[in-house]
Chains A and B, each alone.
Chain A
Amino acid sequence: MSSLLAAGGASVTFPALSTLIVIPALGALAIAITPAGRSEVHRLLAVLATVMTGAVSLWVLLVFEKSEPGFQLRGEEPTTWVDSLGITWDLGIDGISLFLVVLSGLLFPLAVLGVQPEHDAKPYYAWLVLLEAGIMGVFVTLDLFFFFVFFEIVLVPMYFLIGAWGHGNRVYAATKFFLYTMFGSALMLVGILAVVFLHQDATGVLTFDIVELAEGQSWGVEAGRWMFVTFALAFSVKVPLVPVHTWLPDAHTEAPTAGSVILAGVMLKLGTYGFLRFGLYLFPEASVWFAPVMLVLGTVGIIYGAIAATMQKDLKRLVAYSSVAHLGFIVLGTFAITTEALTGSVMQMVNHGLSTGALFFLVGWLYERRHTREIAALGGLQKVAPVFAAAFTLVMLSSIGLPGLNGFVGEFLILLGAFVAYPVITAVAATGVILAALYLLWAYQRVFHGPVEGDNAEMNDLTLGEGLVLLPMLALIVFLGVYPKPMLERIEPAVDALIVHVEENVDDWSEPTADVIEPADDHGEDDDQGEGE
Chain B
Amino acid sequence: MLAQISTPDVDFAILAPLLILAAGGVFALTISSVTKALPAWFFTAWAVLAALAAAVAVIPLWHRYTGEGEGDGATSTISNTIGFDGFSLYLTVTIACAVAMASLLAHPYLVREKLVGPELHVLLLLSGSGGVVMAFANDLIVFFLGLETLSIAVYVLAAMHRRRFESQEAGMKYFVLGAFASTFLLYGIALVYGATGSTNLVEIRNTLDQTIIVEDGLLLGGLALLIVGLAFKVGAVPFHSWTPDVYQGAPTPVVAYMASGVKAAGFAGLLRILSVTFAPVVDDWGPPLEVIAALTLLLGAFSAIVQTDVKRMLAYSSISHAGFILLGVIAASGRGTAAALFYLGTYTFLVAGTFGVFTVMGGEGDNDHDVSRFAGLGRRRPLLAIALLVMLLAQAGVPLTTGFFAKFQVIAAAVEAEVYWLAAVAMIAAVVAAYLYIKLIISMYLVDVDVDVDADADAISVPRPIAVVIGVAALVTVGFGIFPGIIDSVAQDALAELTFGS
Contacts and interface: CB of A to CB of B under 8 A. Distances in A.
Interface in A182-225: 182-183, 186-187, 189-190, 193-194, 196-197
B420 interface: yes
A193 B415 contact: yes
A471 to B, nearest CB: 35
Contacts of B430: 186
Contact of A152 (B335, B398, B415, B488): B398
Interface in A150-194: 150, 152-153, 155-156, 160, 163-164, 170-171, 174-175, 178-179, 182-183, 186-187, 189-190, 193-194
A459 interface: no
Best-surrounded residue of A153, A175, A193 (most CB of chain B within 10 A): A193
A479 interface: no
Contacts of A311: none
A190 B420 contact: yes
Interface in B415-450: 415-416, 420, 423-424, 427-428, 430-431, 434-435, 438, 442, 445-447
A84 interface: yes
B492 interface: yes
A163 B393 contact: no
Contacts of A424: none
Contacts of A197: 412, 415-416
Contacts of A293: none
Interface string B384-408: 0000000001000011100011001
Given A81-B485, A84-B488, A186 B427 contact: yes
Contacts, number: 86
A208 to B, nearest CB: 11
A190 B415 contact: yes
A167 to B, nearest CB: 13
A197 B483 CA distance: 22
Interface string A130-156: 000000000000000100111011011
A84 B484 CA distance: 11
Contact of A164 (B415, B431, B445): B445
A187 B412 CA distance: 12
A82 interface: yes
A170 B428 CA distance: 25
Nearest to A186: B427
A359 to B, nearest CB: 27
A380 to B, nearest CB: 36
A144 B408 CA distance: 12
B338 interface: yes
Interface range for B: 20 to 34
A153 B430 CA distance: 15
Contact of B488 (A83, A170, A193): A83
**Secondary structure type dominating chain B contacts:** helix
Contact of B431 (A84, A160, A182, A193): A182
Contacts of A194: 415, 420
Interface string B460-502: 0000000000000000000000011100110010000000000
A204 to B, nearest CB: 14
A434 interface: no
A163 B442 CA distance: 8
A193 B445 CA distance: 34
B405 to A, nearest CB: 8
A170 to B, nearest CB: 7
A121 to B, nearest CB: 14
Contacts of A178: 434, 438
Interface string B21-56: 000000000000000000000000000000000000
A160 B438 contact: no
B411 A187 contact: no
B438 A175 contact: yes
A163 B444 CA distance: 12
A7 interface: no
A175 B483 CA distance: 29
A170 B445 CA distance: 12
B411 A189 contact: yes
A193 B412 contact: yes
Interface in B345-394: 382, 393
B399 A171 contact: no
Given A156-B398, A182-B434, A84 B338 contact: yes
Interface in A440-479: none
A85 interface: yes
A82 B488 contact: yes
A189 B408 contact: yes
Contacts of B420: 190, 194
A407 B399 CA distance: 36
Nearest to B484: A82
Contacts of A83: 485, 488-489, 492
A193 B423 contact: yes
B449 to A, nearest CB: 13
A319 B442 CA distance: 28
A175 B440 CA distance: 12
B231 to A, nearest CB: 25
Contacts of A156: 393, 398
A401 B353 CA distance: 54
Nearest to B412: A193
B423 A190 contact: yes
Contacts of A150: 399
Contacts of B442: 163, 171, 175
A170 B446 contact: yes
A520 to B, nearest CB: 44
A36 B379 CA distance: 11
A36 B492 CA distance: 43
Contacts of B435: 175, 179
A85 B492 CA distance: 11
A164 B446 contact: yes
Contacts of A82: 405, 484-485, 488
Contacts of A182: 431, 434
Nearest to A183: B431
Contacts of A193: 411-412, 415-416, 423
Interface string B326-349: 000000000100100000000000
A84 B335 contact: yes
Contacts of A174: 446
A84 B489 contact: yes
B399 A148 contact: yes
Nearest to A170: B446
A179 B393 contact: no
Best-surrounded residue of B335, B411, B416, B431 (most CB of chain A within 10 A): B431
Contacts of B411: 189-190, 193
Contacts of A164: 445-446
B343 to A, nearest CB: 14
A186 B400 contact: no
A153 B401 CA distance: 10
Contact of B445 (A160, A186, A190): A160
B397 to A, nearest CB: 8
B488 A179 contact: no
B399 A190 contact: no
A190 B424 contact: yes
Given A84-B338, A174-B446, A152 B434 contact: no
A410 B400 CA distance: 36
A149 B404 CA distance: 9
The 3 closest A-B pairs by CB, nearest first: A186-B427, A193-B415, A149-B399
18 contacts: A82-B405, A84-B335, A84-B488, A156-B393, A164-B446, A171-B447, A175-B438, A179-B434, A183-B428, A183-B431, A186-B427, A186-B428, A187-B428, A189-B427, A190-B424, A194-B415, A196-B412, A197-B416
Given A84-B338, A179-B435, A197-B415, 14 more contacts: A36-B382, A80-B485, A83-B485, A84-B489, A149-B399, A164-B445, A175-B435, A186-B428, A187-B427, A189-B408, A190-B420, A190-B424, A193-B416, A196-B412
Interface of B: 335, 338, 382, 393, 398-400, 404-405, 408, 411-412, 415-416, 420, 423-424, 427-428, 430-431, 434-435, 438, 442, 445-447, 483-485, 488-489, 492
